Amino acid sequence: MNKRLLALVLAAIMLVFMISACGGSQTSDNGTDNNAAETQPGSEGAGNSTSEEPVTITYARGKDTTTSNQKMLEAFEKKYPNIKINYQEMPPQSDQQHNAFVTALSAGDDSVDVYRLDIIWPAEFAAAGWVEPLDDYFTEEERAKFLQGPIQGCTYNGSIYAVPLYTDAGVLYYRKDLVATPPETWDELYNIGKQLMDEGKVDYGFVFQANQYEGLVCNVLEYIHSNGGNVLDGSDVVLNSENSIEALNIFKKMLDIAPEGVTTYIENDGGAMFQEGKVAFMRNWPNWWSNLNKDESAVKDKVGIAPIPKGPKGDATGKATLGGWNLSINKNSKNKDAAWTFIEFMTGEEGQKIQSVEGGYLPTRQSLYKDPDVIKANPHFESMYDVLVNALPRPVSPFYPKISESIQINTHKFLMGEIDAKTAVENMAKEIQDTMAQ
């Protein structure tokens, strides 16, 4: 009887082992094998899973009008065949993307693993607890290989929450057939522009973005930052200073050599006017380079790129305002290590090189500004490095939308002559302080 009992016990044990072995490859609700991405942070092992079921991660970003994004995704899946990418294309407008991301993340949605975020969003998303801190993945040594302005824009409260994918910054376009050496100061720009107008060589000396929208914030911050001013120092509001007041007055002086309607202009308005050969200088973004050098452009091969000028209280260089986009991991992602492997590739030299050569996007890795293939495809990138290395992000704060609103309204009122520079700066400083205190 004891022998029969022993035999039954042994049979039961064997059955348990058999059932366990059959159930060992169960997948999670989203059809992925969680164990496939269980690697140490910072490693690339997530793409080397031996699981029969591939990991699938979802990547959400706005529409790419070039072929670069698709080619990057193809190169990634070729290198990491066990990580499949579900690309979720978002609307092209950044505000629509922002609203969609906020709605999903605030509801705890985990369907998207990697988000592409505008440079002004990481602090907001980090403060809300929506994106994963990347300190254990993205080492200090690796961060040093990137342009430091974009790194600042991805950092909040001492932690980093995104990796710069590509960048953008305000630049000064100038007519190199009319101007031998680009101006280094705002006074020089004004004087050269006025002289060229007086001589009848151009209709206007300078064109920029001065409508009441986000572009106005980018413009006015270039005057403030280039004159030694700032909006925030950590969580302290430091905008109310003589440097900032002087910067606004310099900005308004430029209206004298600009088209009468410039306070309604966005990027395309001034770009078209400069392209027609009517303007000596233009503040705009690097993407206008290709338009200015099209066959039908009146200024083809006559355009140079220079850094933003500096103010009288600025340091050695002007300070462009940063644009650009970055990659973050959803805090609720079930595949964080695989998501990091994806980000690591997309923001690495291989991924960014594809992006620059195929799409003309400005890389965030410093080494690529010396890459012969990148420079061959984009000769003007050599001129861009000095601009980007000194560029600064807009105020890094979870309250940025409110900060931007205050800067837009008060700067536009000042340019329209409704308030003076001192009042505009005081209003902004108080409104931002009240917002920060909430």
pLDDT tens column, 388-427:
989 999 999 999 999 999 999 999 999 999 999 999 999 9
Q: What is the mean pLDDT of residues 290-316?
A: 95
Mean pLDDT calculated for residue range 271-299: 95
**What is the C-alpha separation between 204 and 258, in angstroms, rounded?**
6
What confidence tier does 210 reach under pLDDT thresholds 50, 70, 90? very high
Topology (CATH level 3) of domain 50-168+323-390: D-Maltodextrin-Binding Protein; domain 2 (3.40.190)
Question: What is the average pLDDT value for the chain, to the nearest integer?
Answer: 89
Residue 4 clears pLDDT 50, i.e. is over it: no
The Cα 132–Cα 330 span in angstroms is 6
Complete edge-to-edge strand list for the sheet that includes strand 204-207: 204-207, 279-284, 171-175, 303-306
Give the pLDDT score at 95. Answer: 85
Q: Which of 17-31, 55-69, 316-330, 401-415 has the lowest mean pLDDT?
A: 17-31
Question: In CATH, what number does 171-319+399-436 get?
Answer: 3.40.190.10
Nearest-angstrom CA–CA distance, 350 and 204: 43
Cβ proximity of 69 and 371 under 8 Å: no
In the sheet where 163-169 sits, what is the strand order?
83-90, 55-62, 114-118, 322-329, 163-169
pLDDT digits (tens, 9 = 90+) for 320-357: 999 999 999 999 999 999 999 999 999 999 999 999 99
Tokens matching residue 145: 């290989």
pLDDT, position 21: 34
Q: What is the pLDDT of residue 82?
A: 97
Mean pLDDT of 199-208: 98
Q: How many whole angstroms separate alpha carbon 327 and alpha carbon 348?
A: 12
One DSSP character per residue, 162-224 reads -EEEEEEE-EEEEETTT-SS--SBHHHHHHHHHHHHHTTS-SEEEE---SSSHHHHHHHHHHH
pLDDT tens profile 113-127: 999 999 999 999 999
What's the CA gap between 101 and 237, in Å, rounded?
Answer: 28
Q: Which two tokens stand for residue 343?
A: 């980000």
Q: How many CB atoms are closer than 10 A to CB 240?
A: 17
Task: Decide if pLDDT at 23 tops 70.
Answer: no
pTM above 0.75, yes or no: yes
The share of the chain scoring above pLDDT 90, in percent, equals 83
Give the β-pairing of 55-62 and 114-118: parallel
Angle subtended by helix axes 68-79 and 349-359, to nearest 10: 150
Report DSSP state, residue 41.
T
Evaluate whether 281 touches 172 at the Cβ level (below 8 Å).
yes
User: Which tokens hold the place of 115?
Assistant: 């988000």
What is the distance between the alpha carbons of residues 106 and 95, in angstroms, rounded to a whole number?
A: 16
Please state the domain extents for the chain: 50-168+323-390, 171-319+399-436
